[in-house]
């Protein structure tokens, strides 16, 4: 049987070359494409009772023409026709502008349907569409008419007519694509019925059911593509199965000064399972700031080393590299693991030494910035790469490693909480592990929102905290268009604070400083030399200054929720109660809502979910190039549950050998082939 994607639209009556071209401009080439061009909403043509119609509303009314229409011409080609219509107990005036041709339809005594804008005071309707009451449209008088997004010369009248024709002529040939058991289990409309009803719903409920079915199908097919890709990747990447001495790993975990949280245990298992499997790991580990990712990284590194491999931990800045070196040495040295640092600021001699020991296999774990994977760095047996807040590690870096004969397991760590819906779509081909639980005993940061006029009072509160020996951050406003203004702001605030707090030392950090200068400022804050750090947003992710317990974020309305949360994560890292004060006079409701949300919750995942709801998925990552797919009907926010279900079902499906062979899944495999997922792969 030929697929409807192979039937050109020119097969439809009234579609010649010209119209085919116009349709192609909307992505419609085949009858299959046409039927999948879904309406964005419906226009209500159901006849209304006048008593329930509001002034200015768009309505459809049914009435009998009473007397002759009056026609008036004025100006160039301009005309106005009006006629009286009798309905129930009222007489209303129907008016047409510049449509003198309707005059012939207005025969006294005839029933007509008019659609247009209602003027309650004049009892008048300005008509945009008219039909005779016994016409085809009137016969379907309860109608919800589909509204499509149009382009070029294609009109609604044309598209609706073609759609009806296509359904009449080819409706029987619409194939079910979802597996029968899925359709049954989730009580979905059959595909042909859903497509019929999404274009021409009998009533609101049947439209809703049709939408539900098509939304599910979209998410299902999308997830199927991802799951199939993942499976194929796994079968094709030449990773290696590490044999990890699990007893040694368990012993290490027992030796930690704290028990792992359940979430940490779960992600450790997921990671080690990947490392022991024959494919190369490609996993995202997300966990809120302070959720304890470092120790998870340490366990994975230990496992790799004990299995006979080397590990590397990559971070974005030197300060972070030093901090990680420190924590890893504390954790791993007692187990006989050699840890080294490799950053851009090593002397040539130090660098040569580290490179030499790496190549000879004397170093087990190396921590560093991206200097780590430069061309002259060679490992003797690299098995695991972990990146922390390092989104730059991508295709190119993998290529460099592969060119050295390496295809290590890779784990990406991030503290940017990504709502699950986005994680499993944007990072679709990656496996995702989530630490969704904080170690016991954490004190959430107390957050409050103050107006600008209260800034002096806030500074007095801060003074009290500083007198107790604590440190504070003051974050300066973000000016989107200009880094220069950011810097100027920071300089101004710094000057103001120097005046307000003559008794304290105040550091200044901004993007115009060199890496060296930034490091120096950061070190001075870390060592307690500075009491206050005034900073633009360059204050580094992941930096740990447990004595800093107070943060002021100036012009907080300029930041997104995710960013505010990241900034706030710089405090609350010690045993003392910490505070975060948002200084903001937001003008919009959304802005106010953001401030309220920040005060209500310190849970990064809840925050990011609410941010997503406020802003929509397109804006979530800040840029439009987020790599998120565009769905026709599905909505990542409101159809969250369906996405989860689709993911589980498709994962199960592709893992089942019968999926790749049996006739009943042929349509789905055909879909994967059309989407290029199965290019070059031969089954059977």
Binding site for ligand ADP (CB under 6 A): 258, 260-261, 264, 287, 289-295, 415, 439
State in angstroms the smallest separation of the CB of 281 from Mg ion: 19
The option from ligand ADP, Mg ion, none interacting with 295 (CB < 5 to 8 A, set by class) reads: ligand ADP
Say if residues 553 and 564 touch (Cβ distance below 8 Å). Answer: yes
In this complex, which beta carbon is closest to ligand ADP, that of residue 210 or of residue 580? 580
**Which residue number, 179 or 292, has a Cβ lying nearer to ligand ADP?**
292
What is the nearest approach in angstroms of ligand ADP to the Cβ of residue 588? 32
Q: Which of Mg ion, ligand ADP, none interacts with 289 (beta carbon under 5 to 8 A by kind)?
A: ligand ADP
> Rounded to the nearest whole angstrom, what is the least distance from the CB of residue 218 to ligand ADP in the complex?
35
Minimum CB–partner distance for residue 258 and ligand ADP (Å): 4
- Segment 524-583, which members bind Mg ion (CB under 5 A)? 542
Q: Which is nearer to ligand ADP, 493 or 522 (CB)?
A: 522
Task: Report what 258 binds from Mg ion, ligand ADP, none; CB cut-off 5-8 Å by kind.
Answer: ligand ADP
310 to 185, 357, 383, 430, 583: CA distances (angstroms): 48, 12, 6, 23, 47
Footprint of Mg ion on residues 465-484 (CB under 5 A)?
none
Dihedral angle sign, alpha carbons of residues 109, 111, 112, 117:
positive
Hey, what are 323's tokens?
């901090």
Residues whose CB is less than 8 angstroms from the CB of residue 112 and which lie 6 or more positions away in sequence, other chains included: 62, 63, 64, 65, 85, 105, 106, 130, 131, 132, 133
- For ligand ADP, the closer CB: 229 or 432: 432
Q: What minimum distance in Å lies between the beta carbon of 571 and ligand ADP? A: 13
Cα 536 to Cα 555: distance, rounded to the nearest angstrom: 12
Q: How far is the CB of 291 from ligand ADP (least distance, A)?
A: 4
**At its nearest, how many Å lie between Mg ion and the CB of residue 286?**
11
Helix H or strand E encompassing 87: strand 78-87
Q: Cβ 377 to ligand ADP, closest distance in Å?
A: 25
- Is the distance from CB of 328 to CB of 311 less than 8 angstroms? no
Are 268 and 299 spatial neighbours (Cβ–Cβ below 8 Å)? yes
Name which of 510, 502, 504 is nearest 528 in CA terms: 504
CB of 265 to ligand ADP, least distance (A): 9
Comparing C-alpha atoms, which of 625, 665, 683 is closest to residue 221? 665
Find, among 654, 414, 421, 428, the residue nearest to 542 by Cα: 414
Identity of the residue, 178 or 285, whose beta carbon is nearer to ligand ADP in the bound complex: 285
Instruction: Supply the DSSP string of 453-508, one letter for each residue.
Output: GGHHHHHHHHHHHHHTT-EEEEEPPP-TT-HHHHHHHHHHHHHHHHHH-TTS-EEE
Give which of 584, 604, 613, 605 is closest to 596, Cα–Cα: 584
Decide which of Mg ion, ligand ADP, none touches 647; Cβ closer than 5 to 8 Å per partner kind: none
Location of structure tokens 């991508």: 394
State the binding partner of 190 from ligand ADP, Mg ion, none, CB within 5 to 8 A by kind. Answer: none
Would you say 260 or 363 has its CB closer to ligand ADP?
Answer: 260
What is the DSSP track for 393-421? -SHHHHHHHHHTT---EEEEEE-S---HH
Beta carbons of 672 and 225 less than 8 angstroms apart: yes
What whole-number distance in Å separates Cα of residue 566 and Cα of residue 562? 6
Comparing CB distances to ligand ADP, the nearer of 167 and 415 is 415
With respect to Mg ion, which residue has the nearer C-beta, 373 or 415? 415
Residue 290 contact among Mg ion, ligand ADP, none, beta carbon within 5 to 8 Å by kind: ligand ADP
Binding partner of residue 608 among Mg ion, ligand ADP, none, CB cut-off 5 to 8 Å per kind: none
Q: Are 322 and 471 in contact (CB under 8 A)?
A: no
- If you compute the radius of gyration of the chain from its CA atoms, what whole number of angstroms results? 33
Residue 439 interacts with, from Mg ion, ligand ADP, none (CB under 5-8 Å by kind): ligand ADP
The 485-524 contact track toward Mg ion, x by CB under 5 A, reads ----------------------------------------
Minimum CB distance to Mg ion smaller for 230 or for 293? 293
- Cβ contacts of residue 183 below 8 Å, gap of 6+? 176, 190
- In angstroms, give the least distance from the CB of 544 to Mg ion: 8
Question: What residue 372 binds from Mg ion, ligand ADP, none (CB within 5 to 8 A, per partner kind)?
Answer: none
The count of residues interacting with Mg ion (CB under 5 A) is 1
Q: What torsion, rounded to 10 degrees, do the Cα atoms 522, 528, 529, 534 define?
A: 50
Specify the DSSP class assigned to residue 575: S
Binder of residue 291, out of ligand ADP, Mg ion, none (CB less than 5 to 8 A by kind):
ligand ADP
**DSSP classification of residue 588:** S
d(CA 285, CA 676): 29
Could you say which of Mg ion, ligand ADP, none residue 260 binds, taking C-beta under 5 to 8 angstroms by partner kind? ligand ADP
- Rounded Cα gap, residues 617 and 634, in angstroms: 12
Q: Which does 115 bind (CB under 5 to 8 A by kind): ligand ADP, Mg ion, none?
A: none
Nearer to Mg ion, 283 or 647 (CB): 283
Query: Which residue's C-beta sits nearest to ligand ADP?
Result: 292
Which lies closer to ligand ADP via its Cβ, residue 261 or residue 397?
A: 261
For residues 38 and 215, is the Cβ–Cβ distance under 8 A? no
Q: Which is nearer to ligand ADP, 382 or 386 (CB)?
A: 386
Q: Which does 146 bind (CB under 5 to 8 A by kind): Mg ion, ligand ADP, none?
A: none
Sign of dihedral through CA atoms 140, 145, 146, 151?
positive
Select from 537, 524, 526, 533 the least CA-distant residue to 551: 533
- Judged by beta carbon distances under 5 to 8 A according to partner kind, the member of ligand ADP, Mg ion, none in contact with residue 264 is ligand ADP
Neighbours of 96 (CB within 10 A): 24
Kindly state the smallest distance separating residue 573's Cβ from ligand ADP, in Å: 7
Q: Which residues pair with 61 in a beta bridge?
A: 114
In the bound complex, what is the minimum distance in angstroms from residue 634's beta carbon to ligand ADP?
Answer: 32
Q: Which residue is nearest to Mg ion (CB)?
A: 542
Q: How far is the CB of 681 from Mg ion (least distance, A)?
A: 39
Cβ(473)–Cβ(521) below 8 Å: no
CB of 259 to ligand ADP, least distance (A): 6
Q: How far is the CB of 264 from ligand ADP (least distance, A)?
A: 6
Residue 115 or 566: the one with the smaller Cβ distance to ligand ADP is: 566
Q: Which does residue 548 bind out of ligand ADP, Mg ion, none, counting CB within 5 to 8 angstroms by kind?
A: none
Nearer to ligand ADP, 217 or 436 (CB): 436
Q: How far apart are CA 571 and CA 578, in angstroms?
A: 6
Q: Phi, psi (5° rounding) for residue 522?
A: -65, -45
Looking at beta carbons only, is 323 or 536 nearer to ligand ADP? Answer: 323
Binding site for Mg ion (CB under 5 A): 542
């Amino acid at each position: 049987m030929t697929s409807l994607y192979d039937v050109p639209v020119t097969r439809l009556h009234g579609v010649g070359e010209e119209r085919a071209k116009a349709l192609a401009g909307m992505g419609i080439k085949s009858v299959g494409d046409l039927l999948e061009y879904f309406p964005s909403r419906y226009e209500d043509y159901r006849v209304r009772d006048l008593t329930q119609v509001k002034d200015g509303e768009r309505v459809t009314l049914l009435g009998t023409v009473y007397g002759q229409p009056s026609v008036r011409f004025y100006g160039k080609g301009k005309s106005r026709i009006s006629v009286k219509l009798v309905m129930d107990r009222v007489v209303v005036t129907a008016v047409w502008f510049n449509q003198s041709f309707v005059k012939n339809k207005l025969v006294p005594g005839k029933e007509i349907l008019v659609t247009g804008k209602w003027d309650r005071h004049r009892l008048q309707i300005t008509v945009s569409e008219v039909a005779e009451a016994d016409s085809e449209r009137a016969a379907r008088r309860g109608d919800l008419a589909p509204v499509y997004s149009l382009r070029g010369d294609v009109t609604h009248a044309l598209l609706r007519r073609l759609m009806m024709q296509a359904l009449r002529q080819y409706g029987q040939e619409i194939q079910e694509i979802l597996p029968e058991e899925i359709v049954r289990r989730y009580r979905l409309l059959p595909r042909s019925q859903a497509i019929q009803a999404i274009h021409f719903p009998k009533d609101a409920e049947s439209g809703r059911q049709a939408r539900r079915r098509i939304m599910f199908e979209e998410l299902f097919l999308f997830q199927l593509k991802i799951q199939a890709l993942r499976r194929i990747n796994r079968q094709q990447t030449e990773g290696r199965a590490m044999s990890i001495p699990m007893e040694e790993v368990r012993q290490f975990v027992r030796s930690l000064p704290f028990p792992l949280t359940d979430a940490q245990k779960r992600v450790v298992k997921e990671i080690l399972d990947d490392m022991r499997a024959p494919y190369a790991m490609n996993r995202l580990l997300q966990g809120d700031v302070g959720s304890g990712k470092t120790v998870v990284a340490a366990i994975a590194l230990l496992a790799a080393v004990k299995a006979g491999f080397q590990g590397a931990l990559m971070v974005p800045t030197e300060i972070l590299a030093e901090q990680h070196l420190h924590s890893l040495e504390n954790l791993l040295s007692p187990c006989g693991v050699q840890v080294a640092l490799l950053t851009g600021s090593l002397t040539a001699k130090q660098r040569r030494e580290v490179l030499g020991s790496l190549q000879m296999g004397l170093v087990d774990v190396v921590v560093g910035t991206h200097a780590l994977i430069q061309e002259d760095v060679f490992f003797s047996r690299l098995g695991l790469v972990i990146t922390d807040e390092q989104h730059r590690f991508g295709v190119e870096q993998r290529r460099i490693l592969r060119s050295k004969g390496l295809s290590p397991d890779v784990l990406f760590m991030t503290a940017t909480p990504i709502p699950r819906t986005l994680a499993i779509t944007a990072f679709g081909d990656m496996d995702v592990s989530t630490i969704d639980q904080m170690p016991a005993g954490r004190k959430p940061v107390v957050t409050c929102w103050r107006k600008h006029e209260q800034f002096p009072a806030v500074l007095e509160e801060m003074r009290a905290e500083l007198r107790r020996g604590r440190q504070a951050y003051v974050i300066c406003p973000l000016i989107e268009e200009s880094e220069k203004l950011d810097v100027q702001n920071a300089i101004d605030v710094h000057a103001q604070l120097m005046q307000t707090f003559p008794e304290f030392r105040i550091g200044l950090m901004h993007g115009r400083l060199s890496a060296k200068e930034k490091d120096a400022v950061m070190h001075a804050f870390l060592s307690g030399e500075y009491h206050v750090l005034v900073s633009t947003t360059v204050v580094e992710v992941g930096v740990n200054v447990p004595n800093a317990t107070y943060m002021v974020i100036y012009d907080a309305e300029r930041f997104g929720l995710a960013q505010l949360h990241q900034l706030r994560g710089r405090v609350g890292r010690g045993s003392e109660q910490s505070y975060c004060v948002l200084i903001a006079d937001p003008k919009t409701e959304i802005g106010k809502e953001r401030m309220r949300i920040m005060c209500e919750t310190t849970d990064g995942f809840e925050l990011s979910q609410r941010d997503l709801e406020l802003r929509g998925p397109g804006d979530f990552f800040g840029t439009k190039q987020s790599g998120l797919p565009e769905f026709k009907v599905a909505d990542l926010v409101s159809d969250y549950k369906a996405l989860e279900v689709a993911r589980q079902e498709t994962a199960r499906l592709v893992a089942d050998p019968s999926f790749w062979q049996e006739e009943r899944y042929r349509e789905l495999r055909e879909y994967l082939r059309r989407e290029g997922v199965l290019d070059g792969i031969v089954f059977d």
